[in-house]
């Protein structure tokens, strides 16, 4: 009978530890894999289909926001930009592209302004309930970097969404 309260206490402390520590460990694992160029680990920890879908949605929103009331040419330009952008997204959201997001702030390094390329990004992790957390990137000079969203996958975490900084 005395073992049951001890077992319950251990289970409770383990659950609390998982709740607070697992997001930080997941982000650290992705950041370490990105720094080491460990694409196999990145492939395990990232849902590339979800990342591409997120990027396509962000692209569509950006094109819609930029389209004015310029008539047919404006609409055609938006459609072309979106189609080209979708192709670029499919080619950029790879293990190497995500490693570049974590290391530099964008999937393709030339998209990052020169002054940010040499700065390290630090990550702050914030829980969003039991099923997700966000990692907020900040450059050394305090400029906001990319934001990454992780979704729970069993007892682990998978990166599913990213938002690039507005340079």
Asked if 139 and 145 count as a contact pair (C-beta separation under 8 A), the reply is yes
Arithmetic mean of pLDDT over the chain: 87
Judged against a pLDDT cut of 60, whether residue 92 lies above it is answered with yes
Phi-psi region of 12 (alpha: psi -120 to 50; beta: other; left: phi over 0): alpha
Nearest 5 degrees, angle CA 47-CA 41-CA 132?
A: 45
Query: Residue 153 and residue 167: Cα distance in Å, rounded?
Result: 32
Among 17-21, 67-71, 103-107, 136-140, the range scoring the smallest mean pLDDT is 67-71
pLDDT value, residue 76: 60
For residues 7 and 149, which has the higher predicted lDDT (pLDDT)? 149
């Amino acid at each position: 009978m005395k073992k049951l309260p001890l077992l319950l206490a251990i289970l409770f402390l383990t659950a609390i530890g998982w709740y607070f520590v697992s997001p930080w460990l997941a982000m650290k694992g992705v950041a370490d894999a990105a720094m080491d160029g460990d694409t196999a680990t990145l492939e395990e920890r990232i849902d590339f289909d979800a990342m591409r879908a997120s990027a396509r949605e962000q692209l569509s929103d950006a094109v819609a926001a930029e389209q004015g009331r310029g008539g047919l040419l404006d609409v055609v330009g938006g459609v072309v930009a979106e189609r080209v952008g979708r192709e670029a997204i499919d080619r950029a959201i790879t293990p190497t592209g995500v490693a570049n997001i974590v290391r530099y702030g964008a999937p393709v390094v030339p998209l990052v302004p020169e002054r940010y390329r040499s700065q390290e990004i630090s990550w702050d992790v914030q829980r969003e309930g039991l099923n997700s957390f966000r990692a907020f990137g900040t450059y050394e000079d305090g400029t906001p970097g990319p934001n990454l969203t992780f979704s729970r996958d069993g007892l682990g975490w998978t990166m599913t969404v990213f938002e690039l900084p507005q340079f």
